């Protein structure tokens, strides 16, 4: 009787599932958080490249700031990443390079990505993604 009771495995599958299910759910949530962070990082890098390129094609610093901001916002919208806060910082020193020399325009894009819907211990409510990019200014472009 005791031997039959010890060899009875009924209910062992349910116990295994109760133990494994939370671990699997935690692993899936970590994968989702990591995937969302990686996608936001890629989108931010693309936005920085778009902003730098658009700024390098502008004729004036004021125009460069406007087109760079628009390019970054458009790039983030096309990637499907919603930023709680999107800022574009530009270094437009290359626009004032003398004729015949190549200047460099740089853009830094900061995007605050909301992660509060992923409820995991240790995962912050948001994360700031930062990317930098540079683009050369045509040495013989028309100057204003």
pLDDT higher than 80, residue 85: yes
User: Among residues of the chain, what percentage have pLDDT more than 90?
Assistant: 38
Burial of 127 (0-12, 13-18, 19+ CB in 10 A): middle
pLDDT confidence of residue 123: 65
How many DSSP H helices and E strands does the chain contain? 3, 3
Could you report the per-residue pLDDT of 90-131, keeping only the tens digit for each? Answer: 999 888 888 888 889 999 999 998 877 766 666 667 788 999
Q: Cβ(85)–Cβ(126) under 8 Å? A: no
What's the pTM value of the predicted model, to 2 decimals?
Answer: 0.78
Q: What is the mean pLDDT of the chain?
A: 84
Mean pLDDT of 71-84: 91
Contacts of 17 (CB under 8 A, 6+ apart): none
- Please indicate whether residue 25 or residue 68 has the higher confidence score (pLDDT): 68
């Amino acid at each position: 009787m005791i031997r039959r009771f010890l060899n009875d495995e009924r209910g062992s599958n349910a116990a295994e599932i109760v133990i494994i299910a939370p671990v699997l759910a935690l692993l899936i949530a970590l994968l989702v958080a990591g995937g969302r962070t990686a996608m936001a990082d890629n989108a931010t890098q693309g936005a920085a490249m778009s902003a730098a390129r658009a700024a390098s094609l502008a004729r004036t610093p004021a125009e460069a700031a406007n087109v760079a901001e628009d390019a970054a916002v458009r790039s983030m919208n096309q990637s499907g990443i919603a930023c709680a806060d999107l800022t574009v910082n530009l270094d437009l020193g290359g626009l004032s390079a003398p004729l015949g020399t190549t200047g460099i325009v740089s853009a830094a894009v900061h995007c605050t990505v909301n992660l509060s819907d992923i409820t995991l211990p240790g995962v912050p409510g948001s994360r700031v993604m930062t990317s930098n990019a540079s683009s050369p200014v045509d040495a013989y472009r028309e100057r204003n």
